[in-house]
Every structure is written in structure tokens, then in C-alpha cells.
Amino acid sequence: MNIVSIVGKSGAGKTTLIEKLIRRLKEKGYIVGTVKHTHNGFHMDKKGKDSWRHREAGANATLVIAPGIVALVKDEELELVREIQAYLSDMDIVLVEGFKKKDLPKIEIFRKDDRHKEPLCMEDENLDAFVSDSDYAPDVPRFGIEDIDAITRFIEEKYLKI
């Protein structure tokens, strides 16, 4: 399984880029998983629903199964890459949104605007590609914001055709 982190500052377009890459990779027949990092936690179910009540009662893991979908919330203290491998081992590729400080291959998306003066990963040895509408030109392959076909080809060649 290949894990690639899509990083960038808030509002740079990480989620939009991941959505486009998922669609393109799926069209090519790949099995794609994603991981979204959140600092604030989340609730799998709404307050009062059965799965919420199970967690509130102290369950360490709650698995919700419905036709065609499974959701798991589990208390874990594993290392990030081990967690991804444990839960998404049947994927061809896993696109991770965030985790900019983790030791993972990275594709940075950077938009030059009033909020974002400098890219995040110019000195990161794990930076494999750069997606931007700016003039920054790090020593890695560089793509325009809408170059989804080219970015997809890069991902295929770098991570999937091993």
C-alpha cells in the first residue's frame, strides 16, 4: 500500500485536489482510500443515536454496519502509518489530507495570496511534488492547480507502478 500526504495551508485547496484525484484514480481502476486529519475530534453519529450512546457508555470501539457501508470509531494509540496500514491495507493508494509534519511522501498545494506568503515544505526531504499557481519552483516536479491528469500520471508513475 502506498501512502501520500496532500499538504498545504488552510484554504489552499487540499480537499478539492483530493476529490479530483480520487475520481481520476478510480476511473483508472485503482482502489483509493483517504485519511483526514482533524485536531478537534469528531462524532460518527449524532447525539442520542445508538452508536453515540454506545461510545458515551464507554465502548472502546463502535462499528456501524449498513448495506454497502461500514464505519469504525475505535480508541487507538498506534503510530500513524501503522494505523493506516492496519485499517486500509486493501487499498492501492491512500491519500492523506494533512499530517504535514509526519515522515510521509508529500505533495504540497500552495496558492499565493494575502494569507499564504510562503509554501510549507520547501525544505522537507519528503516533498515529492508541488502544485501551485505561484512562481515558486522547488526542485521537485511542479504542476498547475488544474493539471489533474498530469498529477494523476505522476502519482501512478511514482507510487503505483512499482
pLDDT digits (tens, 9 = 90+) for 67-86: 887 777 777 766 777 778 88
Contact assessment for residue 88 and residue 94, using Cβ atoms and an 8 Å cutoff: yes
Helix (H, G, I), strand (E, B) or coil at 149: helix
Counting beta carbons within 10 angstroms of the beta carbon of residue 64, is it exposed (0 to 12), middle (13 to 18) or buried (19 or more)?
middle
Could you tell me the pLDDT band of residue 59, with boundaries at 50, 70 and 90? confident
Contact assessment for residue 105 and residue 128, using Cβ atoms and an 8 Å cutoff: yes
pLDDT > 70 in the chain, percent: 91
What architecture is domain 2-42+76-160?
A: 3-Layer(aba) Sandwich (3.40)
d(CA 140, CA 31): 26
Question: CB neighbours (10 Å) of residue 99?
Answer: 19
| Paired residues of 127 in beta bridges | 106
Q: Name the one residue in this structure whose C-alpha cell is 480520487.
A: 22
| Paired residues of 34 in beta bridges | 95
- The alpha-helical segments, DSSP class H, found in the chain are 14-27, 50-56, 80-88, 148-155
pTM of the model: 0.83
Pairing, β 2-7 against β 32-36: unpaired
Could you tell me the pLDDT band of residue 56, with boundaries at 50, 70 and 90? confident
Domain range annotation of the chain: 2-42+76-160
Contact assessment for residue 154 and residue 24, using Cβ atoms and an 8 Å cutoff: no
Q: Report pLDDT for 44.
A: 63
Residue 97 half-sphere exposure, CB side, CA atoms within 13 Å? 20
Q: Report pLDDT for 19.
A: 95
d(CA 114, CA 54): 45
